A = this chain, B = another copy of it.
């Protein structure tokens, strides 16, 4: 393989995960180690992440955890030296962006510029940049099967959500710019809402799962906003992690690709499934949206198509919602989280 081949096998190569002490980072480290990586270094500022998220991997000597800030370019350059691939996960999402757009734009934009710069100056062979379904926007008008050329609905959703989506649009374009001008191979993976083991409370849509579980395990009735017909599309964290590995290994480059679960669902179905899998028999309570809380709703049914990922990454999701929620609940029960 030449240094400029867009394919980067996992086996015997070294990987840096920026913002990796996280939901997606911990699962990605696990997959990269399982697929034979020579080293996986996780860099995290612990602003959102936590070392606890990597506990399950600590016996693997190939894993290294270093404290570092995506805003500090010299730290990134130091960490990227000798690495073959970089997975860039560090970002603030809609809720955090709503609370603090000043920090959010710094992390999502300057942070990404710093990661790209570090990749270019140290000769990293491939970058996987994590984008989001947020690049399609939210709100009335989002309908049908979203493919990679679908435009961005910038009207109607809360400012934090649109700023988050636009920050991911810009991040992808910074990658395109680096590919064109500096030859940096990259794949941008646009995840739908990720959920699973080591779930946190920062993702607007994943709250439907974890907040429901919080209530029902206390024996309280789960809440559904409105009639619960609102469409959501999730992807289990293990599938997202496999997609990241596939994005390194595939010959694909200079492309953004959707990563989503087997099929979309509704908020009512999620609430029912979580209640059932938690072993409870509690009827959902229909409530009004909470004022001041960032909530994202589309006008009609929609889904996020992952056909391109099947074709160019050879990836498809394996974990359906029932299995994914079962694993999430099992993890919470086992860890007391």
Contact = CB atoms under 8 A, between A and B. Distances in A.
B159 A148 contact: no
The 6 closest A-B pairs by CB, nearest first: A151-B151, A152-B152, A159-B173, A159-B177, A166-B166, A149-B155
A105 B167 CA distance: 11
A160 interface: yes
Nearest to A178: B159
Interface of A: 98, 101-102, 105, 109-110, 113, 135, 137, 141, 148-149, 151-156, 159-160, 162-163, 166-167, 169-170, 172-174, 176-177, 180
Classify the interface of chain A: helix, strand, loop or mixed.
helix
A176 B156 CA distance: 11
A113 B101 CA distance: 9
A155 B147 CA distance: 11
Contacts of A105: 109-110, 113, 170
Contacts of A162: 169-170, 173
A154 B141 contact: no
A247 to B, nearest CB: 19
Given A159-B177, A170-B105, A151 B148 contact: no
Nearest to A167: B170
Nearest to A161: B173
A77 to B, nearest CB: 16
Contact of A153 (B151, B166, B180): B151
Contacts of A166: 166-167, 169-170, 173
A274 B170 CA distance: 36
Contact of A137 (B137, B151, B153, B160): B151
Contacts of A110: 105
A298 to B, nearest CB: 13
Given A149-B155, A163-B174, 10 more contacts: A101-B177, A102-B113, A137-B151, A149-B156, A151-B153, A159-B176, A162-B169, A166-B167, A166-B170, A169-B169
Nearest to A148: B155
11 contacts: A101-B113, A105-B113, A109-B109, A137-B152, A152-B154, A152-B169, A154-B169, A159-B173, A162-B170, A162-B173, A166-B167
